């Protein structure tokens, strides 16, 4: 029998490796940005076209590469970061994976320009699908420029699996923000389709966070800092009142490398215990510095998950640090520098005792003596009191005459008699005067029917009613809107604002009126009829949370997703008391829907219990 195992050609092996390294354009952005940081660059530019499908270019002013390094960097398992296996446990750099550039070159057109500071000329290399096309010398500025064009040009199946431009751009922005937050001392700029999205000059950590997540972020931040023998912690957490439904602004950095850790996230959440509303998530920007030998960063292909030697101690330190900072924020006094200095106690009166007021009593006062007599207070300062008004007997002298006159006049008045009935309909039997619906545990509504009774889940039923109402408004374009007396000014991050702009046509069809959309906020002057002013921010936050992973490309699917999200936010919650009229309205509106049996999320809205089922419960 002939052998069936054979070695793969290099270009096939590189394409397979590329599938592990390059999942989407954001993967290329991450590798190139980290290489630029490791090259000691102080100015890094990221240029994107068509969400990275057409072009991903990173330009830095780092140390550059020699002609030999420029060729070797595209070979598999070639790296400048490690020399022996032990170096894997003492890494301070980021992009040490030798197959990164080789994998990128296998599935794209790569153009690299690089020059070292001491060289007069640089090197220009073009590679297409792992094949070297040209290598020339050129006059170039110091640093390196990587231009990745036509990603996945030779793997159309992988290219077809890419999401829409909005989704892919959001992933690129996420990677850019993570690298920029880890290195506030570097100047980062990002351009997409010729327009500038970010321009982040060198600054401190707080300014970098504010520069990325809009100006209102500064009001939310609470600083944290702790130095121990095991690790050092610094960064910021957000105030509890600014917690959101989604988990967008949550960042952990270990030795300036972004990571994801559910264990550390739980430590932060436990520090917020009792301070957050149900379902809300706080934001945090936490930087941990630990000895490199105490962590293992090779447990995940993208290096976003690491393993700590002493996780329990790290958990306890992080939890106590965040809790201590939140405690300091809640109990810190407010310094009022504008108080009136006239209210301060003069220094000359600080050591003096307070003077008690003296009370003087007129011992000769008798309320029962004739008021016409003059009262004199011997040895007192009371002035004599004279009552010049008539005596009290004079108030009743003419009462008898007036009463007789009134009595005579009343005797001449005739009153119209009217028969009073006990109810509007006397012939209505008492047995029919019963409630049609009942609310149980403020969760279910029970209504009798001929065959038994129907039990309705009030939250799911209201979701179905709202869902069909919003969907009708968006498809028929006849949504009603109520104008706000004072427009709402809502602040969002750049990624959230981009998502809102994509959803704006559908939101307008539901009844929202956008007066202005700026770089960091939106102004809303009108809302749907069934949305109150206080619920606008809740609805938009829930919508951003539900559509964070991607917006459906078709208009119907997009409208369906928005209607589901808004119905979930605005539906009456479990535990809400409903009056009898509200119960009946919900019941009637539910069975007027096209599909009353299930909620928008395919869960039953009601069940029926027949009399026979009840009889079986009572049989012995």
223 alpha carbon, distance to own chain's centre: 19
Paired tokens of 126: 């073009």
Contacts of 187 (CB under 8 A, 6+ apart): 42, 43, 44, 200, 201, 202
Q: CA–CA separation, 588 vs 581, rounded Å?
A: 11
Three-point CA angle 88, 26, 103, nearest 5°: 55
Q: Please give the average per-residue pLDDT across 327-332, as a whole number.
A: 61
Angle between helices 458-476 and 494-510 (to 10 degrees): 80
Q: CA–CA separation, 93 vs 290, rounded Å?
A: 14
Question: Residues 286-323, buried b or exposed e (16+ Cβ, 10 A)?
Answer: bbbebeeeebebeeeeebbebebeeeeebbebbbebbb
390/63: higher pLDDT: 63
DSSP symbol at 255: T
Residue 426 pLDDT grade (very low, low, confident, very high; cuts 50, 70, 90): very low
Q: CA–CA separation, 248 vs 252, rounded Å?
A: 12
Question: How high does pLDDT run on average in the chain?
Answer: 80
Q: CA–CA separation, 421 vs 439, rounded Å?
A: 33
Give the lowest-confidence range in 100-104, 241-245, 345-349. Answer: 345-349
Q: What is the tens place of the pLDDT at every residue in 359-402? A: 888 878 777 776 555 545 444 444 554 455 556 566 555 555 55
Paired tokens of 200: 């982040």
pLDDT at 428: 45
Strands 232-238 and 284-289: antiparallel
Give the lowest-confidence range in 6-20, 84-98, 211-225, 508-522. Answer: 84-98
Q: Please give the average per-residue pLDDT across 503-521, as a whole number.
A: 83
Q: Count of CB atoms within 10 A of residue 527's CB?
A: 21
pLDDT at 97: 44
Q: CA–CA separation, 249 vs 132, rounded Å?
A: 42
Residue with tokens 């219990």: 609
Q: Please give the average per-residue pLDDT across 1-5, as a whole number.
A: 68
Contacts of 184 (CB under 8 A, 6+ apart): 202, 203, 204, 205, 207, 208
523/304: higher pLDDT: 523
Residue 220 pLDDT grade (very low, low, confident, very high; cuts 50, 70, 90): confident
The pLDDT of residue 473 is above 60? yes
Q: What is the tens place of the pLDDT at every residue in 146-187? A: 999 998 888 888 888 888 787 888 889 999 999 999 999 999
Residue 348 pLDDT grade (very low, low, confident, very high; cuts 50, 70, 90): low
Given a contact cutoff of 8 angstroms between Cβ atoms, the answer to whether 206 and 91 are in contact is: no
Q: What is the tens place of the pLDDT at every residue in 114-137? A: 999 988 999 999 998 888 889 999
Residue 430 pLDDT grade (very low, low, confident, very high; cuts 50, 70, 90): very low
Q: What is the tens place of the pLDDT at every residue in 478-496? A: 677 888 888 888 888 777 7
Q: Please give the average per-residue pLDDT across 101-105, as a whole number.
A: 85
Q: What is the tens place of the pLDDT at every residue in 534-583? A: 888 888 888 887 776 666 666 667 788 888 888 988 899 888 899 989 99
- Contacts of 192-199 with C-beta under 8 Å, sequence gap 24+, read 192/48, 192/49, 192/51, 193/48, 193/49, 193/50, 197/173, 197/494, 198/494
Q: CA–CA separation, 250 vs 239, rounded Å?
A: 13
Question: Residues 88-120, buried b or exposed e (16+ Cβ, 10 A)?
Answer: eeebebbbbbbbbbbbbbbbbbbbbbbbbeebe
pTM of the model: 0.69
Q: CA–CA separation, 353 vs 342, rounded Å?
A: 20
């Amino acid at each position: 029998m002939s052998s069936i195992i054979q070695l793969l050609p290099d270009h096939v092996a590189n394409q397979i490796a590329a599938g592990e390294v390059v999942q989407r354009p954001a993967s290329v952005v991450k590798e190139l940005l980290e290489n630029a940081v490791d090259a000691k660059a102080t100015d890094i530019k990221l240029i994107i076209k068509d969400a990275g499908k057409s072009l991903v270019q990173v330009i830095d002013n780092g140390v550059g590469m020699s002609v030999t390094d420029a060729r070797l960097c595209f070979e598999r398992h070639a790296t400048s970061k490690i020399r022996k296996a032990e170096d894997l446990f003492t890494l301070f750099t980021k992009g040490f994976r030798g197959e990164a550039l080789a994998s990128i070159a296998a599935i794209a057109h790569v153009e690299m320009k690089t020059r070292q500071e001491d060289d007069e000329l640089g090197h220009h290399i073009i590679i297409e699908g792992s094949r070297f096309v040209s290598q020339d010398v050129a006059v170039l500025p110091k640093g390196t420029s990587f231009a990745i064009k036509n990603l996945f040009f030779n793997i159309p199946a992988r290219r077809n699996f890419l999401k829409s431009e909005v989704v892919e751009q959001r992933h690129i922005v996420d990677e850019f923000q993570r690298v920029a937050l880890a290195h506030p001392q570097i100047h980062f700029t990002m351009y997409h389709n010729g327009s500038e999205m970010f321009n982040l000059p060198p600054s401190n950590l707080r300014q970098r966070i504010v520069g990325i997540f809009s100006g209102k972020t500064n009001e939310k931040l609470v600083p944290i800092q702790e130095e121990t023998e095991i690790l050092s912690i610094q960064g910021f957490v957000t105030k509890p009142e600014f917690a959101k439904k989604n988990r967008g602004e949550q960042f952990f950095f270990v030795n300036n490398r972004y990571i994801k850790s559910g264990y550390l996230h739980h430590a932060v959440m436990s520090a917020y215990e009792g301070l957050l509303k149900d379902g809300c998530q706080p934001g945090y920007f936490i930087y941990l510095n630990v000895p490199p030998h105490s962590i293992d960063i090779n447990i995940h292909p993208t290096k976003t998950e690491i393993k700590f030697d002493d996780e329990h101690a790290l958990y306890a330190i992080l939890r106590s640090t965040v809790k201590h900072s939140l405690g300091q924020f809640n109990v810190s006094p407010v310094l009022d520098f504008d108080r009136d200095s006239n209210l301060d106690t003069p220094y000359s009166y600080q050591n003096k005792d307070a003077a008690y007021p003296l009370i003087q009593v007129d011992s000769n006062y008798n309320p029962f003596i004739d008021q016409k007599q003059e009262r004199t207070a011997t040895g007192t300062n009371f002035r004599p009191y004279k009552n010049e008004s008539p005596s009290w007997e004079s108030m009743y002298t003419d009462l008898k005459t007036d009463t007789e006159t009134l009595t005579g006049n009343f005797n001449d008045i005739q009153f119209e008699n009217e028969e009073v009935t006990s109810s509007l309909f006397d012939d209505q039997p008492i047995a029919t005067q019963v409630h049609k619906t009942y609310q149980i545990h403020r969760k279910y509504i029970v209504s009798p029917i001929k065959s038994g009774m129907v039990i309705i889940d009030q939250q799911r039923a209201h979701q179905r009613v709202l869902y069909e109402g919003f969907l009708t408004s968006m498809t028929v374009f006849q949504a009603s809107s109520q104008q706000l007396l004072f427009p709402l000014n809502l602040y969002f991050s750049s990624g959230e604002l981009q998502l809102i702009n994509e959803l704006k046509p559908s939101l307008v069809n539901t009844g929202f009126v956008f007066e202005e959309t700026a770089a960091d906020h939106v102004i809303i002057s009108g809302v749907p009829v069934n949305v109150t002013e206080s619920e606008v921010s809740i609805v938009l936050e829930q919508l951003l949370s539900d559509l964070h992973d991607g917006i459906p490309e078709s208009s119907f699917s997009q409208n369906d997703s928005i209607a589901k999200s808004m119905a979930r936010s605005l539906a009456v919650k479990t535990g809400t008391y409903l009056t009898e009229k509200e119960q009946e309205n919900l019941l009637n509106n539910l069975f007027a829907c096209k599909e009353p049996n299930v909620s928008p999320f395919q869960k039953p809205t009601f069940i029926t219990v027949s009399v026979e089922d009840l009889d079986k419960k009572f049989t012995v």
